[in-house]
Structure 1
Amino acid sequence: MTDKAVKLSIKSLFLWVVMSITTFSLAVLSSLAVYTQIKTYRHELESNALMLAKLVARSAATYLYDETPERIEAALSNLTAAEHVLNAHVYKAQNKSLAPQIFASYNKEGQLLLGGKENQLSALFMAPQLADNGKYLELSTKVFDTETNISLGWVYLRVSSDNFNQLVGKSIWLNLAVALALLAISFYSAVRMQRIVTGPVENIANFLQRTSRQRDYSARASGSTIKELDILADAVNVMLYRMQEYMQKQREAEEQHRKLNASLEDMVSHRTTALKDANQELIQTLEKLHQFQRQIVQNEKMASLGDMVAGVAHEVNTPIGLGVTASTMMLDRLAVIQKDFENKTLKASAMKRFLDESNENLNIIYRNLNRAAELISSFKQVAVDQTSETSRSFCVVQLVNEILLSLQPRLKKLKHNINVNCDPTLSVETKAGPINQILINLIMNSVIHGFESMEKGTIDIRVELVSNNKLKLVYTDNGKGIPPEIRKRIFDPFVTTKRGQGGSGLGMHLVYNLVTQALNGSISITGEEGDGVEFVIIFPVVNAKTSE
């Protein structure tokens, strides 16, 4: 644990809690006591003053009725016995539209006659008020005729509140002194109680620190007179006992480990030597396996090329055979014409028929020789691309058409449709051979696997630029799709659905290697079983050109 963190001790926490609760309780109680005493003193002051005012009002009732102010003033002079009375005024009531008029007054020596109180009589009658920051108390009461109970006027009384303020001050100081004394007693009691509670805790803490430094787990903590601390001491002793057992077992285990390590060193040395030999043999076997795999992949490529050669050779035989037949017929007709010419029996009709037949045969020879030349040129370019790893510039549509033309011998007996969607002016520079082999493998996979038991399938090849230096090739078919257990391993070697039926399982593995290694691109597959398949191939190109 770090020493930078602020820590609270049980001592300070105990003192803070006890003193906070005590201070809050004393503050609340003292405030309530002071408030109650102030309220009592003020009630007493108001009661005494109201009693004097009522006495003055009762004695002034007869004099107000007789309108003899001298007698009222003589009666008011008796208020000199009440030292706290400063001013006493008797007001005579007028009609309702006029304010009461002062009739007689008493002013203590040194006090002036107060004026302007006529408008405050009703308010002071309802609630006496402390004036001039609490130095005086002002109140009023009505003067009634004792016989008719008719209001004759008002009595205004102003008394000093010095005695009230002195009592309030004494009460506050007394409560404050009592609170401080109780706080001192509480602090002393809290300190004593804190020592009783925290003393055993400190002893246990010191014991644990000493035990931790000395690592003497055989020591035991002493009990306490406090139940909870005694339980803590028992728990500490149980922990020390278990730690002592654990340390003993650890020492025994370390001893066993030392003996075991000593006996294992020779065994590890022998096993290491055997493992090195096994690893060397495994590396050699793995190299042979890779070599065998590369040989199989190369054989697969050459087998594909051989199948294409056989198909193109068969396809070339037809136009060449037609050309030979037409040329033989021309030679026969030429021999007949030459004989008639030599015998001078040549007729114009025979010459015309010869010319027509010659024109027809020469057209046949030209068309078939041109067809054979196209097939041979396409096959030558495809064969060069398949065996070459160099980059060249080419028109993408022309390359795809050449590939489809080379596959025509194998596809002409089938009713499948192949649609090519590409900008006819799109030209790029990249390796044509891998693209050639990729499309051939994908098309043949669709024909053999995807369109199995299908009379007419559709293949869509879409090529587009996704940026200035990336070409995207999307190959889709509407075949039966790929099962999920095969799709997740489709690019692994020797994965095929035609096991034992001539399928090597290297076609898609070859496609994956050509895309990722030869073209430095990526390939992904989507589609569910029964919904066909879609391959998305993206690879970099250079010098991409298009009319757009």
Structure 2
Amino acid sequence: MGTLGVALALLAAGLVLGLFLGRRRGALTTAPEVPMEALFSAEAEESLRKRDAIFAKVFNLVPDTLTITRIADGRYIEVNHNWEALSGFMREEAIGHTSAELDIWAIPEQRSQLIGILQREGEVRDFDVTFKHKQGHQFYTKVSASTFESDGEKYMMLAVKDITAQRAAEQAIRDINQQLEERVQRRTLKLEQANAELAQALETLHRAQDELVRSEKMAALGALVAGVAHELNTPIGNSLTVATTLEHRLQEFEGQIKVGLRRSDLDHCMADAQFATEVLVRNLMRAGDLVRSFKQVAVDRASSQRRQFNLQDIVSEIVITLSPVISRSGCEVQMDIASGLELDSYPGPLGQVLDNLINNAMTHAFVDGQRGRIEVHAHDLNADEVQIEVRDNGVGIPADHLKRVFDPFFTTRLGQGGSGLGLHIVHNIVTEVLGGHVDVSSQPGAGTVFTLRVPLRAPASAQPA
């Protein structure tokens, strides 16, 4: 109820009460505009009745419930028609009875609090009061109140607004909010549990990926060992053959000495010994060079240390280590590496990249025993970068696979030895260790080209894999 409405309602109530009390106590002087000489005349009585009827009508037209009670004992002096619908009590049941007799205040302390505020401040606006209906149930209201005094008695006028439906709606909203909060908490808990499970699964996946990466590295080292054995087998085998032949020739020479040595026999023996020595030295030097190369590759792969190196040497060493696999595959590997390309970078990781790309070509580019060609090209792009290409003339990569080749665990040879990590490792090494970029282009039936762009000097922030 607005301030103006409350004021009007209380004014109407006050006027009605003033006339009512004045008539009961003979204090008819409270009615304005009635001449003193006509107070006891019939006209005065009629005028008062009409005035009472007007103010009673106004009192009952106010939309809120209005009551007038005596402060001392809570006795009801007047109520309007809305009182009956709100409280369940008829007007005749209320007038002359106290609020305690009607048991209308559900919380009696609220009446004492209300009166205390009225005594301090003179009026009250929107005070929360819980009343009890005649049938026993409670209803909630907002009360505005004022006091007045007549013949030494203090009275309280109340304008009561029913907010039970509003309270019920607010409670319903609170209940819904509580339910929503509980649902959100349950969902949050489930999400936290799901996130924890996902984090654990991701950690397990990372461990598995690391293990597979180590397996890939061990497989590369295995290929290195096989390459060492294969490449060393030729010079060592040749040296053994020459040494055995030289041993037999010396035994013959010894027999010739016993029966009589001729000048021609000595010359032939010296020529054979010189030839054998040359072959032995050449093959042993070849073996020594291979051992040094393999040792450097092994150190680079194991330690991933940064150093200065010649790109042509690194590519040659990688092709040598892969020669057994290349021979079995029936493929041909050609190199076209510009001379003078000196890098300050990580030869081990770069060698692993080239190893993986050549192996990937031999594994996927050629099918059904097809013989193919793999080419490794390298040249400088500018003063700071070098471009390395590994290309093949194989079957190519389908367009729907092309954008996924660097994804971890993506392979078209699942269960046939493919882990799906080779190209993923290539991408990680090139971008994170060498500080470069790797791209792939392919046309089905026209082969595949992997293009690496790496700086001649690896960035200082790069860390070996």
Which residue in the other structure is 1:375 paired with? 290
Which residue type is aligned with residue 202 of structure 2? L
**Separation (CA, whole Å) in 2 of partners of 1:255 and 1:459:** 78
SS at match of 1:467: coil
CA distance in 2, matches of 1:279, 1:440: 38
Q: Would you say the 8 A contact 2:396–2:447 is kept in 1?
A: yes
- Contact preservation (8 Å) 1:375, 1:406: no
Residue 235 (structure 2) aligned to one of 315, 319, 322: 319
- For residue 461 of structure 1, the aligned residue among 367, 373, 376 is 376
Q: Give 1 or 2 for the bigger CA radius of gyration.
A: 1
Number of the residue aligned with 2:213: 297
In structure 2, distance between residues paired with 1:252 and 1:514: 67
Q: Which residue does the alignment assign to 2:335?
A: 420
Higher helix proportion:
1
C-alpha distance in structure 2 between counterparts of 1:543 and 1:284, whole Å: 35
Q: Give the match's secondary structure for 2:304.
A: coil
What does the per-residue CA deviation read over 1:314-365, in whole Å, with 9 as the maximum and x for residues that have no partner? Answer: 3312321221222122223324434554x46333232222222212222222
Secondary structure, in 3 states, of the residue corresponding to 1:463?
strand
Q: Find the counterpart in structure 2 of residue 435 from structure 1.
A: 350
Count the aligned residue pairs: 295
Alpha-carbon deviation of 1:276?
Answer: 3.1
Secondary structure of 1:321's counterpart equals: helix
Residue 499 of structure 1 corresponds to 414
Residue 390 of structure 1: SS of its match in structure 2?
coil
Per the alignment, do residues 458 and 314 of structure 1 end up closer, same or farther by CA in structure 2, a change over 3 Å counting?
closer
Distance 2:420 2:207 in 1: 17
Does the 8 A contact of 2:438 with 2:452 survive in 1?
A: yes
C-alpha distance after superposition, 1:380-418 (max 9, x if no partner): 222222223222111222221221122222223555443
- Counterpart of 2:315 (choices 379, 396, 400) is 400
Instruction: Give the aligned residue type for 1:425.
Output: G
1:117-144 Cα shifts (integer Å, max 9, x gaps): xxxxxxxxxxxxxxxxxxxxxxxxxxxx
Query: 1-side partners of 2:360 and 2:182: how far apart?
Result: 57
Of 266, 270, 273 in structure 2, the residue corresponding to residue 355 of structure 1 is 270
Structure 2 length-normalised TM: 0.58
Alpha-carbon shift at residue 438 of structure 1 (Å): 1.0
Match of 1:487 among 393, 402, 407: 402
Structure 2 distance, partners of 1:414, 1:264, is 66
Secondary structure at the counterpart of residue 307 of structure 1? helix
**Cα gap change, 1:542 to 1:251, in 2 (>3 Å):** farther
1:328 aligned residue (232, 244, 247): 244
CA contact (8 A) 1:312 1:409 kept: no
Which residue identity is paired with 1:518? Answer: V
- Name 2:95's counterpart in structure 1: none
Structure 1 pair 451–251 and aligned structure 2 pair: CA distance change class (3 A): farther
- In 2, distance between residues paired with 1:253 and 1:422? 82
How far is 1:274 from its partner?
A: 4.5
* Contact 2:297–2:348 under 8 Å retained in 1: yes
What residue number does 2:441 align with? 526
> How far did residue 254 of structure 1 move?
7.1
SS of the aligned residue for 1:282 comes to: helix
* Whole-Å separation in 2 of the counterparts to 1:294 and 1:497: 21
Query: What is the CA-CA distance between 1:510 and the residue it aligns to?
Result: 1.1
| C-alpha distance in structure 1 between counterparts of 2:339 and 2:345, whole Å | 17
Please list every run of 5 or more consecutive structure 1 residues that lacks an aligned counterpart in the other structure: 1-249
Structure 1 position 282 matched with structure 2 position 203: no
Q: Answer whether contact 2:223 2:321 (CA < 8 A) is retained.
A: no
- CA change 1:521–1:252 in 2 (3 A) is farther
Alignment of 1:54-133 (within 5 A): none
- Residue ranges of structure 2 left out of the alignment (5+ in a row): 1-165, 460-465
| Structure 1 vs Structure 2 CA RMSD | 2.8
Q: For 1:165-204, what aligned pairs fall within 5 Å after superposition?
A: none
